Amino acid sequence: MSAGTPDLAALAVGQSIGTRTVEVDRRTLVRYAGASGDLNPIHWNERFAVEVGLPGVIAHGMFTMGTAVTLVADWAGDPGAVVEYGTRFTRPVPVPDPGTAVLQVEGVVGAIDLEARTVRVDLTVTSEGARVLGKAQATVRL
């Protein structure tokens, strides 16, 4: 984080910006529910989640989206450098109890705009080998 800003001129499309592994348990979800104000019971109430046809309690898509982009913010050296970020939610992440779900996050430079001084980072986020976010892309201004 203190390594500073990446050198735009030295970046290449396809280059990895790194990886991150995130372990998620029920406590993680309760904390996100409280901090975000998203109190949908599918994220903390097993009975309710099963009743609405889910395999069990699932992570907030916005938690997965929010934690995945920390890789980009840390790489950029400033979370305020993230000027655009979007994703589709393609697959729910069941979070067992007891136990944890594991998210694997990887970022690759997808595009570079030297004039605008922006870099698009394409994120791959998987759980148990399956992609849980689709077309997750963050643009940073360096």
Partner 1 sequence: MAVNTAFAGRSYAPTEAYQVGREHVRAFAAAVLADHPAHHDVAAARALGHPDVVAPPTYAVVIAQLAEAQLVQDPEAGIDFSRVVHADERFVHHRPIHAGDELVTTLHVDSITERAGLAMVTTRCEIAAADGEPVATVVSTLAVRGESS
Residues that bind partner 1 (CB under 8 A): 1, 22, 28, 31-32, 34-38, 40, 52, 61-63, 65-67, 69-70, 72-74, 77-80, 82-89, 134, 138
Residue 111 bridge partners (DSSP): 120
Nearer to partner 1, 99 or 134 (CB): 134
Give the burial string for 111-121 (b: 16+ CB within 10 Å, else e): ebeeeeebbbb
C-beta of 24: minimal distance to partner 1 in Å?
Answer: 9
Q: How far is the CB of 48 from partner 1 (least distance, A)?
A: 9
Nearer to partner 1, 22 or 109 (CB): 22
Of the pair 12, 61, the CB lying nearest partner 1 is at 61
CB of 10 to partner 1, least distance (A): 21
Name every residue whose Cβ is closer than 8 Å to that of residue 29 and which is 6 or more positions away in sequence: 43, 44, 57, 59, 60, 63, 95
Q: Which is nearer to partner 1, 2 or 9 (CB)?
A: 2
| 4 DSSP 8-state letter | -
Q: Which two tokens stand for residue 67?
A: 């934690």
Separation between Cα atoms, residue 24 and residue 133, nearest integer Å: 16
